[in-house]
Structure 1
Amino acid sequence: MAAHAVHTRKADERPKMRLDDHLPVDHRLNRVYRFGAGLIGAFLIVFGILGLIDHIGYFNTGGAKVVGLNTNGSLSVLSICIGAILLAGMVIGGNVASTLNMVLGVLFLLNGFLFLGLLDTGSNFLAFKIQNVFFSFIVGLLLMTFGMYGRVGHALPYDNPYWRARHPDPSPQEQRDGPERQDPRRGQVR
């Protein structure tokens, strides 16, 4: 009969998660999602610059259009700032870009809902029209998709650090393989 070494963890001890271990630096889709967010950032910068060139008032709620979207000076400046942040995130890459895309995606969605409620009111200080609301929803969903790549899903691999952080017990694969084949990163013998 073979003796198996069993490693026990303290109840309050969680496995340490290193966020940069799982990044597939050579994966083609990683580049597609990073550059997708960068393209959105570049579009926002161009949109903002074109809005500023037209010398629209900063809180003008008139009907000034740029690239089919309503705008004013405040929206133009905000677009340039958000676009620059997205481009910086694209250059940095990794978890910074992923987290930034998710956060900005949620903010775009919330912004769309906020200004959907403010349409045709005096409080619509960014001069949103329905096409701006649709644009906010589409960009928000795209950015969230870009940011969630490799982080969430129903079929994350067992060696993904996000899966391991959510499931501190050995994976079904490790349980089938037995203790002699388990992953050493879990503190168990291989």
Structure 2
Amino acid sequence: MNVRDELPLDHRLNLVYRIGAALCGAILLAFGCLGFADRLGFFATEGARVAGLSTNGFLSIISIVVGALLVGAAFIGGNVASTVNITVGCLFVLSGFVHLFLIDKAANILDFSMSNVVFSFVMGLLITTFGMYGRVSGGLPHDNPYWRRRHAARGAREDSRAAAPATAITRR
């Protein structure tokens, strides 16, 4: 099975995954570029702020790499964009929890402050929501490719029932 097999290229969910990845990726790219524009120290922890968030050169590099990954996933689209959104979003939430405990400690090499932790949680939930939209739910419509993949036998029965009256009419 190929990663792209589940979702048809022209499916309407593809647009949601692409927009979510591109939007969040652009925000991270802008943040990273602003950090480089301020010529911050690579592991500086003296409290330089960019766009209301504390940052340093290392966090700027990470932001640019993750932003480029999201923009690349938006360019590819489909299940790739959805999977990358879910993965990156979960990593953002995990990063928020880790850095919540690292604030005001020597191990805080990314110079996270509480505003960074809140941003990490919000951005993580936003990216994850874009990735899971239409993919993870108890109420997916039966024409949704993810529902059909999980319920192949039931989908085949529904397809055969829908086709049966049409064939019965054409045989008469």
**TM-score, length-scaled by structure 1:** 0.75
Structure-2 residue corresponding to 1:138: 122
Larger helix fraction of residues: 2
Deviations 1:91-149 (A, max 9, x none): 11111111000000000000000001111111111000011011111111111111112
Distance 1:35 1:135, change over 3 A: same
- Is the Cα–Cα contact under 8 Å of residues 3 and 80 in structure 2 kept in the other structure? no
Among 121, 131, 140, the residue aligned to 1:147: 131
Deviations 1:48-70 (A, max 9, x none): 11111222111111110001110
User: Quick check: 1:101 aligned with 2:101?
Assistant: no
Structure 1 residue 30: Cα displacement: 4.0
Structure-2 residue corresponding to 1:127: 111
Structure-2 residue corresponding to 1:5: none
Q: Which runs of 5+ in 2 are unaligned?
A: 166-172
**TM-score, length-scaled by structure 2:** 0.83
- Number of residue pairs the alignment of both structures matches: 165
Q: Which runs of 5+ in 1 are unaligned?
A: 1-15, 182-190
- Is the Cα–Cα contact under 8 Å of residues 73 and 80 in structure 2 kept in the other structure? yes
Structure-1 residue corresponding to 2:10: 25
Greater gyration radius: 1
User: Quick check: 1:64 aligned with 2:48?
Assistant: yes
Identity %: 50
Structure-2 residue corresponding to 1:88: 72
Separation in structure 2 between the aligned mates of residue 105 and residue 32 of structure 1, nearest angstrom: 15
Structure-2 residue corresponding to 1:75: 59
- Is the Cα–Cα contact under 8 Å of residues 18 and 161 in structure 1 kept in the other structure? no
Q: CA RMSD in A?
A: 2.7
3-state DSSP of counterpart to 1:138: helix
The one-letter code of the counterpart of 2:10 is V
